[in-house]
Structures are given as structure tokens and as C-alpha cells.
Amino acid sequence: MGGIRLIVKTITRITLGIIFLFGCYLTFAGHLTLGGGFAGGIIVAISYILFVLAYGEAAAAEKISRFWAGVIMCLGLLLFIVIALWGMWDGYFLGNFLPKGDPHDLLSAGTIPWLNLAVMLLTGAGLFLAFLLLIGFEVAPQEERGT
């Protein structure tokens, strides 16, 4: 049993950063190739979930706690809404007010990369939080339990 845990921990340590970077790549190249904020955010959440499954929730709480996961989730939606309202400055809600740039550049297509980033923050932190809530709950002590 101990040997299995060691193998799982080592492989997780090696592959974790690569999975996280792949999620970030899908997010920031979402307007150029396949991917986008939603898929990238899910892969970022999967990297954290892998960490929780291999090392336990106590170790994961040192990296990011439930509180900060919730804060980042809300910041993602807030960023989306701020960009959407900013578009009204130039005309209409969710208008693409940033310069278009050259196609196939990393910083092109106006607001699309930033909306991808907002969706990635929301999806990644939110699904990781949902996983923690569904899996890592603790049973309340006897006197606090409802009838």
C-alpha cells in the first residue's frame, strides 16, 4: 500500500505542472486554435483535483483554501461583467472595444482572450471548489447533526 502511494505521489509531482500549463495554454490560445476558457479551466481544475487525490486535502489547503477558491471564482465572473460593461463606453454591451491586432498574434482579437481568462478563472476555481465540497466534506459531530 505504501509503495502504491509513493508511485502515485511521484507521478503526480512530475505531471502536475505540465497539466496546469496545458490548461493555461488552452486558455490563452483559445482565440487562435482549439480550446478556450471553459476547457482550459476544467484542465486547471483537474490538475488541482489530481493534487488533492494524491496528497490529501490538508496539503492542498496550503496551496489554495476553499475561501480563496470561492474568491477567485467570483473574481472571474466579475472580470467578465466589467469587460462587458466597459464595452458600453464605446457603444454597446459586450462590445469588442480593444484593438483587433494582427490575426494569429497572441494579443489580438480584442476582448476575446480576456473573456477567455475570465471564464478560465471561474471554471477552474469553481469546479475545484465543487469537487472539494462534494468529496472532502467532514461528518459533523453528533451534537451538531440535525435530526
Partner 1 sequence: MLELYALLIFMLLGALIAVENHDLLSSVIAVGTVGFGLCIVFLYLGAPDLALTQLVVEILALVILIRSTVALTVPETYKGREFLAYLMTGIFILTLLFFSSRALSSLPSFGAPLMKVSKEYIALGTSRTGAPNLVAAIMFDYRALDSLGAAAVLLVSILGVITILRLKGRK
Interface ranges with partner 1 (CB under 8 A):
26, 30-36, 38-39, 42-43, 45-46, 49, 53, 70, 73-74, 76-77, 80-81, 84, 93-94, 96, 100-104, 108-112, 115-116, 118-119, 122-123, 126-127, 129-131, 133-135, 137-138, 140, 144, 146
Read off the DSSP letter of residue 106.
S
Nearer to partner 1, 63 or 100 (CB): 100
Shortest gap between Cβ of 144 and partner 1 (angstroms)? Answer: 6
- List Cβ neighbours of 43 (8 Å cut-off, separation of 6 or more): 19, 20, 22, 23, 26
Read off the DSSP letter of residue 68.
H
Nearer to partner 1, 9 or 100 (CB): 100
Residues 83 and 146: beta-carbon distance below 8 Å: no
Nearer to partner 1, 62 or 102 (CB): 102
Shortest gap between Cβ of 63 and partner 1 (angstroms)? Answer: 19
Shortest gap between Cβ of 104 and partner 1 (angstroms)? Answer: 6
Unique residue bearing C-alpha cell 497572441: 106
Q: What is each CA distance from 73 to 11, 69, 76, 80, 139, in whole angstroms? A: 28, 6, 5, 11, 25
Shortest gap between Cβ of 71 and partner 1 (angstroms)? Answer: 12
Q: What is the DSSP string of 35-49?
A: --HHHHHHHHHHHHH
